Amino acid sequence: MSKKVYVGMSGGVDSSVTAALLKEQGYDVTGVYMKNWSKDLPGMVCPWKEDYQDAKRVAVQLGIPFKMYDFEAEYRQKVVEYMVAEYVAGRTPNPDVMCNQEVKFKLFLETCLEDGADMIATGHYSRVKDGQLLTGVDTNKDQSYFLYRVTEDALRHSLMPIGEYEKPAVRELARKFGLATAEKKDSQGICFVGKVGIKDFLLVELGEQPHGVIIDQIGKTIGEHDGAIFYTIGQRHGLDVGGGLPYYVVGKDMAKNEVYVTTQLDDNRLWKKDLQLTDLHWINQAPKAGKTYQVRTRYRAAPIDCTIDVSGTSAVVKLSEEARAITPGQSAVLYDGKHCLGGGIVI
């Protein structure tokens, strides 16, 4: 009897091809649309109904059962409230990481297994092998960075078939299968980090923020900001302090409501050779002291050779070269070649 796989179908091309490939490989496939967010935002209609219909259309084409799980309340609690709280605390979180940890590979997985599935599948550009997470074949699209907080047990119940392909090949497969989503543009993810900027989203959630001063590298007030929560380390655009050299955000004090900037690209506040991590998560086992690994300090950042010293729930990562704009709240993810080990949150 073939394994029963529930595929998270978002209405995009990647998850559509995932479902088609698994059906072709002989799995008993069911498509599931996760309704995580449906709220419209200023200047942006949330496209969830259109995405749902696209996913359903593909399921009909493939001749597979299709259902919807409504996770909106849990998504708000686990992802949105976490994200807003992090910004209020002065950090820059990664909601995609939390969505994978709490919703897709926990809530969705548990719901599918209770519903009779043997496994779940997603349209991520990563690979799973024996409970290990590997980078996707398409290095430009690899999404292992966002998956580093998934557990080994969840991975043993997960399939990511398009991780074996480059993106153009996935488009070609969609055309070959004749899928309704073959020419659909890639989504920008959830509404509030898609066409709506994070600032606009936070204004809806929190309202106007208290204005404060922007201070340069010599301690001079050079402008006013409209809320310290909106600024992130390394940011260059949106500062509205004109004239001369560009300014970069190097820090902020939430208690004083001050944002600190510099025009000096070699300012030591912009560069770090040691990372302090907290809230560690290792997929299989913790990395070994003294061994050289690679670390990504943000999605698409080039990997940097490093060593790591783990102490309980925190760690110090020593980099082989300085990294720019290390941002509190972001994730630093460790690799051993193509193998994603896990990581932690930058403090």
Number of neighbours of residue 229 by Cβ within 10 angstroms = 24
Query: Tokens at residue 140, please?
Result: 């430009």
- Rounded to 5°, angle at Cα 270 from 312 and 342: 30
Number of neighbours of residue 302 by Cβ within 10 angstroms = 9
Where residue 207 falls (left for φ over 0; alpha for ψ -120 to 50; beta otherwise) is: left
Task: Identify the bridge partners of residue 29 per DSSP, sorted by sequence position.
Answer: 5
31-53 burial: b if 16+ Cβ within 10 Å, else e: bbbbebbeeebeebebbbeebbe
Query: Tokens at residue 142, please?
Result: 């690899």
- Tell me, yes or no, if 191 is annotated catalytic: yes
Query: 132 vs 95, 234, 320, CA distance in Å?
Result: 23, 33, 26
234-253 burial: b if 16+ Cβ within 10 Å, else e: ebeeebebeeeeebbbbbbe
162, 170 Cβ separation under 8 angstroms: yes
261-300 burial: b if 16+ Cβ within 10 Å, else e: bbeeeeeebbbbeebbbeebbbbeeebeeeeebbbbbbbe
Q: What is the 3-state secondary structure (H, E, C) of 190-251?
A: CHHHCCCCHHHHHHHHHCCCCCEEEECCCCCEEEEECCHHHCCCCCCCCCCCCCCCCCEEEE
What is the side-by-side strand order in the sheet with 119-121? 66-70, 28-35, 4-8, 119-121, 158-159
Q: Which of 99, 112, 306, 340 is catalytic?
A: 99
Q: Which of 46, 112, 191, 340 is catalytic?
A: 191
- Tell me, yes or no, if 99 is annotated catalytic: yes
Q: How far apart are CA 141 and CA 136, in angstroms?
A: 7
Query: Which residues does the annotation mark as catalytic?
Result: 99, 191
